Amino acid sequence: MRLALCLLSLSLLPGCFLSRSHLNQPIAPETVERIVPSSTTAGEVAELLGAPLEVVQLGYKSAWRYEFTVEKQAALFLFLVGLRGVDNQADRVWVFFDEEGVVSHVGSTFAADEAGFDLPWSPFGEEAAGEAAPDGVAGPQGASGSAGAAGQQ
């Protein structure tokens, strides 16, 4: 009986999971394209994109940051060994305003759709597309590396 219970426990120990989470609302590229420098006001930007995640004062000027982040995780547990991969990608929009509250510049990057379920041995970035990094140049770091999502900025 005790042996059967041990074997049952060991058979339930291995497993895997997939997880997807997101932070904030998605940002549509078409909406960002409606922001026109020198004519769109701060009020119009707030109507289009909502409240910003961050407001930075730059003297009399300001910048608003919008961000939508997707994180996908995959994990595999085999008895005492656990492998976990995390990919965190984001859509970011920075809107810069002049002294009168009119848009002066807009910068954006859209990468949230590129988040994937990867385990530590999975290829990623340029190497996954079959393009090797040049000699002496390190390839891109995954989200679990030291650069993480900040490397995408």
In the prediction, which pLDDT does 10 show? 65
Confidence band, pLDDT 50/70/90 cuts, at residue 120: low
Residue 90 banded pLDDT, cuts 50, 70, 90? very high
For residue 69, the model assigns a pLDDT of 93
User: Which residues are CB-neighbours of 130 under 8 A, at least 6 positions away?
Assistant: none
CATH code that applies to domain 14-113: 3.30.1450
Average pLDDT of 127-142?
Answer: 41
CA separation for the pair 147, 149 (Å, rounded) = 6
* H helices present in 13-41, as ranges: 29-33
Residue 81 banded pLDDT, cuts 50, 70, 90:
confident
Q: State residue 118's pLDDT score.
A: 73
Share of the chain above pLDDT 90, in %: 44
Average pLDDT in the chain: 78
In angstroms, the CA 102 to CA 119 distance is 45
SS3 label, residue 25: coil
Measured in degrees and rounded to the nearest 5, phi and psi for residue 112 equal -60, -35
Are 65 and 94 in contact, with CB atoms under 8 Å apart?
yes
Please give the single-letter amino acid code of residue 92.
R
Q: Given this model, what pLDDT does residue 121 score? A: 64
Give the pair of three-digit tokens for residue 77: 């547990």
Q: How far apart are CA 23 and CA 65, in angstroms?
A: 14
pTM for the predicted model, two decimal places: 0.65
On the question of pLDDT at 30 being above 90, the answer is yes
Predicted local distance difference test score (pLDDT) of residue 86: 85
pLDDT at 147: 35
Amino acid at 144: S
Q: Where are the domains of the chain?
A: 14-113
